[in-house]
Each structure stands twice: as structure tokens, then as C-alpha cells.
Structure 1
Amino acid sequence: MAKKVLVVEDNELNLKLFCDLLRAHGWMAEPVRDGREAVARAADVLPDLIVMDIQMPHVTGYELILALKADEALRHIPVMAVTAYAGREDEERIRAAGADAYVSKPISLARFMGAVNDLA
């Protein structure tokens, strides 16, 4: 049975790229376009991994990671942040919020899948 990944990304092209890439590698990808829906969708889907953008409208990735890690039923799910924020302080802040992995944009497909597989 394929592992499930929830992909939270507001940019339609990035969302399609991430989902297509994950599906090509045997994952079942569940897209979410709005961070405000992510916690509820994660509770419904109970994914094996959550891949998310940090810079989103309405709810930042930081806020979303904190909400996921505060939820007893979801806190065990690894979170991989994918973001254009590429500085050392950015990575430290993202990891401090609770992200288990960090990949900067523009992504390297090999690095992206390597990080996914490391968390699987």
C-alpha cells in the first residue's frame, strides 16, 4: 500500500510539481491549496508525511507546523518544509517550530525526494 503525503502549497505549479513527483515515486499525494484547511485534512487523511510551503497567505507555515505539533493525533507525523527562505536563521526558525526536514526553493528533485525518503 502506498504511503500517503499531504502536500500544502498555495502555488498551483509547485503543488502540481510536488504531487506529480511524489506520485511518480509511489506515494499517494493529497493536495491542499489553503493552509487554513491543512490541519482538518491531515486529521481526515492521517498521512505518513506532510510537505508544506512556509510562505502562504492566511496561515503561515510556522503557524501551521505549531498547530500540527500541538494536536495529539497529528504530532507524530513528520513535516517537511519547502520554502524560498534559504538563510541559516530561516532553517533554524523552521526547525524550531517543529519541522523535521527543510528543503529550499528552487528545489533539486533529487534533494526533495531524498528528504522525503529520509522521513518515510
Structure 2
Amino acid sequence: MKILLVEDNEMNRDMLSRRLARRGHTVVMATDGQMAVAATLSEQPDLVLMDMGLPVMDGWEAARRIKGDARTSSIPVIALTAHAMAEDRERALAAGCDDFDTKPVDLERLGRKIDALVKDQASP
């Protein structure tokens, strides 16, 4: 599966991309929301992992644009954020994200969410 990882923190990006690659995923990366929107169009990933606190364009707006474009609206987006309040989850879902996970990332939990979303996409 091709995953677009959108993360501006180099250490987080490196750690998460290596762990996803070890699980057999192809990982493409973007470091800000504007790049995320462009990469979603050009790469057509199977799923987007979106940090919400991004430069240039934040993850909330990037998710809204990805979900608002007919060419990318069906691509699942999982919000990743250090903010774990219920309002943050609601805000991410309102922006169009399909799920929400907190940082630091628990890869087992995130993996279950990825698998569930991709399974839902494959269902008729």
C-alpha cells in the first residue's frame, strides 16, 4: 500500500516512514499542507497520514482540500496530532479526516486503523 506521510518534524518523519516501510508499505512524504494536497493529487496514495500542525497550510485545511476535490475525496485521511482532546478529534473529523490518532504514535494501534480504513475502501 502507498501511504503519503505528511509530517514537518524530521525525526518523526524518519521514524514513522522507516516503521511503515518495514511493514511493507511504500511511503511518500510531504512536509507541509500545501505539499500534501499536491502530492495527494500526483501520487494518488492509498491513504494519507496527516500531521495537523503544519507550516504553509495546516493539516485541517489540507484535509478539507483533499476531501473537497473529487479526484482525491475517496482517499482515507488519518489525522495525527499531539492534541488528544475530544474537541481535536471532532475538529479533525469535521475537516474530513476519516480517523484520528495521537502522538506519540503507537504503531500497533495506528496499523489497526490503517487496515480498517483500507478494508473499508476495498468493500463494495
Q: TM-score normalised to the size of structure 1?
A: 0.94
Runs of 4+ in 1 over 3 A off after TM superposition: none
Q: Which runs of 5+ in 2 are unaligned?
A: 119-124
Partner residue, 1:82:
80
Q: What does the per-residue CA deviation read over 1:53-98, in whole Å, with 9 as the maximum and x for residues that have no partner? A: 0011121111000000111100000000110110001101111111
1:9-88 maps to which residues of 2 (within 5 A)? 9-88=7-86
Q: Distance in 2 between matches of 1:107 and 1:77?
A: 21
Which one of 82, 96, 99 corresponds to residue 97 of structure 2?
99
Partner residue, 2:6:
8
Which residue identity does 1:69 align to in structure 2?
Answer: K
Which residue identity does 1:103 align to in structure 2?
Answer: D
**Cα distance, 1:34 vs structure 2:** 2.1
Q: Distance in 1 between matches of 2:116 and 2:17?
A: 18
Q: What does the per-residue CA deviation read over 1:29-66, in whole Å, with 9 as the maximum and x for residues that have no partner? A: 00111221111111111000000100111211110000
Q: Distance in 2 between matches of 1:12 and 1:51?
A: 15
User: Matched residues, percent identical?
Assistant: 38
Which residue identity does 2:89 align to in structure 1?
Answer: E
Q: TM-score normalised to the size of structure 2?
A: 0.91
Q: Which runs of 5+ in 1 are unaligned?
A: none
* 8 Å contact kept, 2:50–2:79: yes
Number of residue equivalences: 118
Q: Secondary structure at the match of 2:63?
A: helix
Which residue identity does 2:68 align to in structure 1?
Answer: A
Q: Secondary structure at the match of 1:82?
A: strand
Please identify, of 106-115 and 66-75, the stretch whose mean Cα deviation from structure 2 is larger. Answer: 106-115
RMSD in angstroms over aligned alpha carbons?
0.9
Q: What does the per-residue CA deviation read over 1:91-113, in whole Å, with 9 as the maximum and x for residues that have no partner? A: 01111111111111112121121
